[in-house]
A and B are shown apart, each in its own frame.
Chain A
Amino acid sequence: MAITEKNKTDIIRRFIAVAVAAFLCWLFPLFHVVPLKMAVAEKTAGKFDATAFVEKFWIEKLLPAANTAVNAKGLLAAIQASPSNAKTNYSRSVGLSDSYFYFLHGEGKIVAVSDDTVSIVVTGNSTNVEITLQTGLIFGDAIRDGTGLLHASAYPNSQDFNDISAALNHEVETKVLPKLREQAKVGARISFAGCAEVNDESSDLHPLNLIPIETKSE
């Protein structure tokens, strides 16, 4: 079939159009080809890593702070005298809330051990259990919010802040509790540091229910 004049110009026109489009794409590229590994690495670089953060925080901030936490003996005496005074002098609370936290350290005698608690008497002559250390599954934000070392305002996305709480609890379960379970023998003396959350003063003060962050047998 002969190429007519019209067909010819048509072909030339199309050719020019494609050439122009190709030239434009060369000037303004539509996309760049990036190897998958590099792209993935770039993406994860900016993500917040709660576990890594907590491991560093634990050693650099939390353990040093435990030494300066309120002394258990003094706190228990203050609570005995007046729960509300103890609250104003020693507790922390976060945001708009009527529950509060104590961050304390001290030493005492183990009087009972169960599946998920270790009961301790701190004051020499007391017959009541004054403090229990949680040894089961750890939930809640007592460690994150109880120490005053971490603030929600520093985290643009609250999910990161929540991940910190989960990572802290995980740290307790994997690093603190196995050691504590070994040390937990009735009659042994133990030193401890930890955080307690008080939701309901009628039940949460006697005993104070602590999430331990550090324990040592003496």
Chain B
Amino acid sequence: MNAKDFLKKLQPLIALVVMVVALSLLSDKFLTIANQRNILLQISVNLCLSIGMTFVILTGGIDLSVGAILALAGAVAAGLLKNGLTFKMFGVVLQFTPFGAIIAGILVGVSLGCFNGIAVTRFKLPPFVATLGMLSIARGLTMLWTGGFPVTDLGPKFGFLGAGFLLGVPMPIWISIALVAIFYVVSKNTLLGRYIYAVGGSEKATAFSGINVKRVKLWVYALAGALAAVAGLIVTARLDAADPKAGLGYELDSIAAVVIGGTSLSGGRGSIPGTVLGCLIIGVLNNGLFLLDVSPFWQQVIKGFVILAAVAADKLSAKQEP
């Protein structure tokens, strides 16, 4: 790695540091422990989504369905926990335990992710179209499952996932830290990780070297689905309610975090730590704009510009390479 690459990787970090320094000067509330914890808590959901999104984007794809899968997984878990699964034929109800509901939620995420993967690999649909379709399917299924009503009052056991504390730190933060650690190792030290980068770098070359590109992609979409489901479980547990409208537009936040973190939309370049930085930048920005009482309308404008600036910086520095 040469110095320039290194510096480029540092860009998001520098931006983050500058923001943190400036915000701590502008607001006396920013550096408080409570506020820092809030920021981490608030990015934990986006972080879960963005890890999966990073892998998808690294293969040169995109996943627009994560927000919808989030809502469906949360709703399914909440519904199974609250109402169980009724079999009228046998006159029984399968009353799910919190653990069972969590497993079921993740299974929902994995299966919809696999569906995405199959659509992209077997039916050769562009990822944008395949996952756009899934967005609509998953939203519709969520409405069907819930009837449009939020499923509430899920109990403290399940709520622990979102509202519980371990050693004074909220559970969502632990979960996202664990996921970051696991998938950092996956991206660096496993065959799957190397294959993902290879597929994104050049799909043809990877295929020629005997790697099963389709299988790598299937894995990646399934993973994105699973992580979206985890995010859905966190949101549901945090609110003690599965809102069928949950996760609207989250796919865009997640793509923004990945891009701001320096992952190239054309695939092959990027990293998990970069995405973590991207999430942190968005989180700090959101939090800072609130602390400084910026009007909600301006907040959206400013966030848009930050995304544009990040991508522009990426493009500009790519041009300077020989």
Return chain B residues, CB-CB under 8 Å to A43: 83
> Nearest chain A CB to B77's CB is how many angstroms away?
12
- Expressed in whole angstroms, the Cα–Cα distance for A207 and B236 within the complex equals 56
Q: B83, B91, B95, B104: which contacts A37 (Cβ < 8 A)?
A: B91
Q: How far is the CA of A33 from the CA of B93 in the complex (A)?
A: 6
Residue-wise interface mask of B (4-20) relative to A, using a CB-CB cutoff of 8 A (1 in contact, 0 not): 00000000000000000
Grouping DSSP codes into helix (H, G, I), strand (E, B) and loop, the B interface class, with mixed when no group exceeds half, is mixed
Q: Mark interface residues in A22-58 (1 if CB within 8 Å of B CB, else 0).
A: 0000001111111111010001000000000000000
B146 within 8 A of A: no
Complex CA–CA separation, A11 to B104 (angstroms): 27
B212 within 8 Å of A by Cβ?
Answer: no
> Is B94's beta carbon under 8 Å from chain A?
yes
A28-B99 in contact (CB<8A):
yes
Contacts of A30 in B (CB 8 A): 96-97, 99-100, 103-104
CB atoms of A29 and B100 under 8 A apart: yes
Interface size range of chain A in the complex: 10 to 19
- Among A30, A31, A34, A37, which residue has the most Cβ atoms of chain B within 10 A? A31
Q: Does B319 contact A (CB under 8 A)?
A: no
Structural contact, A34 and B95, CB atoms closer than 8 A? yes
The answer, yes or no, to whether B122 is at the interface (CB within 8 Å) is no
Residues of chain B lying within 8 A (CB to CB) of residue A39 = 84, 86, 93, 95
- One of A28, A29, A35 near B91 (C-beta < 8 A): A35
A interface secondary structure, majority: mixed
Instruction: Give complex CA distance A31, B96 in Å.
Output: 4
Q: Which residue of B lies closest to A37 (CB)?
A: B91
Cα A32 to Cα B91 in complex, Å, equals 14
* B3 in the interface (beta carbon within 8 A): no
Is B88 an interface residue when CB atoms closer than 8 A count as contact?
A: yes
B 65-102 to A, binary, CB cutoff 8 A, 1 in contact else 0: 00000000000000010011110100111111101100
Pairwise interchain contact A36-B97, C-beta atoms closer than 8 A: no
* Contact status A31-B97, CB under 8 Å: yes
> Are B91 and A31 in contact (CB-based, < 8 A)?
no
Whole-angstrom distance between the Cβ of B53 and the nearest chain A Cβ:
29
Are A36 and B92 in contact, CB atoms less than 8 angstroms apart? yes
Task: Look across to chain B and name the residue whose beta carbon is closest to the beta carbon of A29.
Answer: B97
Chain B's nearest CB lies how many Å from the CB of A57?
Answer: 27
User: Quick one: which of A28, A29, A36 contacts B93, CB cutoff 8 A?
Assistant: A36
**Which residues does chain B contribute within 8 Å of A29, judged by CB atoms?**
97, 99-100
Chain B residue with the shortest CB-CB distance to A39: B93
Q: How far is the CA of A33 from the CA of B100 in the complex (A)?
A: 13
Contact assessment for B94 and A33 in the assembled complex, using a CB-CB cutoff below 8 Å: yes
Contacts of A35 in B (CB 8 A): 91-93
Given known pairs A31-B94, A31-B95, the reply for A36 and B100 (CB within 8 Å) is no
CB-CB under 8 A from B100, the residues of chain A are 29-31
Centre residue among A30, A34, A37 by max chain B CB count within 10 A: A30
> Please, which residues of chain B bring their CB within 8 A of the CB of A28?
97, 99
Contact A34 B99 (CB under 8 A): no
On whether the beta carbons of B95 and A36 are closer than 8 Å, the reply is no
Output the least CB separation between A49 and chain B (Å): 19
B94: chain A residues within 8 A (beta carbon): 31-34
Query: How far, in whole Å, are A31 and B103 apart by their CA atoms in the complex?
Result: 11
Select from chain A the residue with minimum beta-carbon distance to B81: A31
List residues of chain B with CB within 8 A of the CB of A33: 92-95
Provide the residues of chain B in CB contact with A32, threshold 8 Å: 94-95, 97
8 contacts between A and B (CB under 8 A): A30-B99, A30-B104, A31-B97, A32-B95, A34-B84, A34-B94, A35-B92, A36-B93
B-side residues, CB < 8 A to A, are 80, 83-86, 88, 91-97, 99-100, 103-104
What 6 A-B pairs are tightest by C-beta distance, nearest first? A30-B100, A39-B93, A31-B96, A31-B94, A28-B99, A36-B91
Extra contacts besides A30-B103, A34-B92, A36-B93 (12): CB < 8 Å: A29-B97, A29-B99, A29-B100, A30-B99, A32-B95, A33-B94, A33-B95, A34-B95, A36-B91, A39-B86, A39-B95, A43-B83
